[in-house]
Amino acid sequence: MDGVRIVEEEVREVIRLRGLDPARESNEVRRIVYEAVRDYDERSMRGTLPQLGALDEVNREVFDAVAGFGPLQPLLDDPTIEEIWINSPTQVFCARGGTSELTSIRLSDEQVETLVERMLKPSGRRLDLSSPFVDAALPDGSRLHVVIPDITRRHWSVNIRKFVARAQRIDQLVDLGSLTPSAAQYLQAAISSGMNVLVSGATQAGKTTMLNCLTSAIGVRERVVTIEEIFELQVNRRDVVAMQCRQANLEGGGEITMRRLVKEALRMRPDRVIIGEVREAESLDMLIAMNAGLPAMASIHANSARDAITKICTLPLLAGENISAQFVVPTVATSIDLVVHCERTAGGHRQVSEIVKLGQRVENGVIETSQLFHRVGGELVVNNNAELAHDKLERAGVDVAGLVEVLA
């Protein structure tokens, strides 16, 4: 056993004897690590113990092993890394600037399982043969997804999508080049007026960050309820209640679904409901809430704004055989006001590619739409024939004529 492993075992024993929680008492653990490393270094100078090398590196490595996520911690601490995934113990990848790369990290099967167990501990979620998939949030807001054999062929598959949002307000999206000032001004007016917005895009296109930024335009006195599969949204306001789903217990009971949370949210006097992502039948409950006059926002996976509209017209059909397209399509038309479509460029830059407004007319099962903003030569510009006016803007006292003139 090398010197670092000896120090690590000594630190673990001290932590165990003192009954410390490394996750909550990190400062005390850091002090114990520092003292253990210094003591071992002095002993190694006088005896035959293996030498440690650079003490700063040893301090970091031991602390990461006992209080962090071991060899993965440097990747989690690196702000340029967006995602980390493990295909096998000897294949640890990361994505940086939209490009994937194979790291030099080598683990054992036991190390992978120990790391996953440590990551799941704060969430209370479990992973076993009866529940071979799990989603959970890490303490820093990163999202963890794990699949185990025999669903995977041989090794545990681990994905960590880091929370690397660089914007919390709409104006910051302008600074990052994701939005133009005119589009940001329109979205600011739309959200503050209570328009219902669907944020669409592919995986890693920036949908969650967009939802976070859009919440900055919600009135300060509004009560917000967020609903997610696992906590990802970081809504920075006083009056907010965040809820997430719960998986079934070992007996198969106790599961809390998105549909249940949407229904519960309506009993909590919300002024605004935000659904992290609609995937299945909960879309029906969301549409019913919107149609009842409750302003809401949600995200959805789609390749374009038009595809997002088609998908949100299809997902509610999963709620049951008694739900028909003849009911869903007109409900979508009268419930959702805007679709904001996000994309990630080949270079890894996230941006809004188009903003589409839904009309209330339906012709042959197709909802009338108007493209308000689209990209021309890489720049998000106002469509020449854009119908920017909306009843909700007028009711909120927004000078639509003045707004149109400014944006045009």
Residue-by-residue pLDDT tens, the chain, 408 positions? 588 888 888 888 888 888 888 878 888 989 998 888 888 888 888 877 888 878 888 888 888 888 889 899 999 999 889 899 999 999 999 998 778 999 999 999 999 999 999 899 888 888 888 889 999 988 888 899 999 999 999 999 999 998 776 788 999 999 999 999 999 999 999 999 999 999 999 988 989 999 999 999 999 999 999 999 999 898 888 899 999 998 887 777 888 999 999 999 999 999 999 998 999 999 999 999 998 889 999 999 999 999 999 999 999 999 988 899 999 999 999 999 999 999 998 878 899 999 999 988 888 888 999 999 999 988 899 988 888 888 899 888 888 767 766 666
Residues 214, 297 contacting (CB under 8 angstroms): yes
Q: What is the pLDDT of residue 165?
A: 67
Rounded Cα–Cα distance for residues 339 and 297 (Å) = 10
- What is the CATH number assigned to the segment(s) 69-164? 3.30.450.90
Helix residue spans in 158-273 (DSSP H): 170-175, 181-192, 207-214, 258-265
Residues 170, 214 contacting (CB under 8 angstroms): yes
Residues 243, 227 contacting (CB under 8 angstroms): yes
Q: What is the pLDDT of residue 98?
A: 75
Helix residue spans in 315-367 (DSSP H): 325-335
- Measured torsion, CA atoms of residues 289, 334, 399, 183, in degrees rounded to the nearest 10: 90
Q: What is the pLDDT of residue 405?
A: 64
Phi, psi at residue 334, to the nearest 5°?
-90, -5
- Domains 69-164 and 170-403 fall in the same CATH topology: no
- Would you say domain 170-403 falls under CATH 3.40.50.300? yes
Q: What is the pLDDT of residue 327?
A: 92
Residues 225, 213 contacting (CB under 8 angstroms): no
| Cα atoms in the 13 Å half-sphere on the side-chain side of 317 | 9
Q: What is the pLDDT of residue 124?
A: 80
Residues in the chain: 408
The structure's pTM equals 0.85
Place of tokens 């071992």: 40
The per-residue DSSP string of 172-195 comes to HHHHTTSS-HHHHHHHHHHHHTT-
Long-range Cβ pairs for the range 283-288 (8 Å, 24+):
283/312, 283/315, 283/316, 284/315, 284/316, 284/319, 284/323, 284/328, 285/259, 286/262, 287/312, 287/316, 287/328, 287/331, 287/332, 287/335, 287/336, 288/331
Rounded Cα–Cα distance for residues 167 and 148 (Å) = 34
For 104, 137, 163, 235, 402, the CA distances from 320, given in Å and listed in that order, are 49, 31, 35, 33, 46
All structural domains of the chain with their residue ranges = 1-67, 69-164, 170-403
Is 381 strand, coil or helix?
strand
Residues 401, 393 contacting (CB under 8 angstroms): no
Q: What is the pLDDT of residue 1?
A: 52
Q: What is the pLDDT of residue 271?
A: 94
